[in-house]
Amino acid sequence: QYDSDYNRAVITFVGTPEAVLNANIAAAKKAIELIDMNKHKGQHPRIGAVDVCPFVPAQNVTIEECKDLAIKFAEALTKEGVPVYLYEESATKPERRNIDNIRIGEFEGLKETIKTNPEHKPDYGPSEFHPTAGATIIGARYPLISFNINLGTTDVKIAKKVAKRIHQR
């Protein structure tokens, strides 16, 4: 599903763990080949061409199996020169459980601080962004429910205030 305002797509794979892993690797390689984050514009916070990849347990798959898939996918992306941050159930530091803490500075800011600030050192891969693909956030997490609300205002400040209140819950 592509969102033109955010300039990003959400792709969902369902299948055996091995099939899901292989599909993610193939899709990520194509995104790394085609997307140049230096030219990317969009409203959604992001740090890379393959911005985030959650592994969510479903029918007969455990969160532990999803953690293993996240590590295997992280290892595959590092072979492409992409640094990886682990989040949610895969996080290696408590502050990295929340994706927003990893995305601070987004692509433009984090591509500099990753080199100089030990707090921004990735969990896997090089300590510098891939020149065009940036970095990726990967992890096992439980299902997430998202929804959109139409507001009766054009005031962006009000919209951001409402979003922040809802997001914190």
Q: Catalytic amino acids?
A: 44
Backbone φ and ψ of 124, nearest 5°:
-140, 150
